[in-house]
Amino acid sequence: MPTENQLSATETLKPDFGKGRYSALMKESFADAKHIFGLEPAKAEKLAREIASDFGAAMASAPVDTKISRSINKDGQCTLAEAAKVKYVTVTPALFAMRAIAHANECGKFGFVRNESKWTVGKYLSDYFAKL
């Protein structure tokens, strides 16, 4: 596997976030942290892992509502669903960054062009990113 120094300027080495419960969250947070916050890949990866870790820790004690579909198809398959919610979670810097990412992504609904918008990070997140 090539090292980051051996990749061309257009290629980047993407971290492996595995196939766990919050792997998709980490992949999306990694890409968004690079684009929205302008973080270098190593810091974006660390932020993505901290977001998933803090989110997972908060959700660990959540009661889960589960559902199973009434119908079963001809292959013996059905649909499973679950929902969980935790109130009054103390917001960590990583969860604060997650909220900022969600807000920036939502702004596309109101006329901002995601690929052309330049976001400026406030002092709280700037100080946190400096420590990553």
Give the predicted TM-score (pTM) of the model.
Answer: 0.79
Contact 84, 64 (CB under 8 A): yes
* pLDDT 10s digits, 58-104: 999 899 999 999 999 999 999 999 999 999 999 999 999 999 999 98
Residues 6+ apart with CB under 8 A from 36: 100, 101, 104, 105, 119
* pLDDT 10s digits, 8-59: 544 567 899 999 999 999 999 999 999 899 999 999 999 999 999 999 999 9
Neighbours of 29 (CB within 10 A): 26
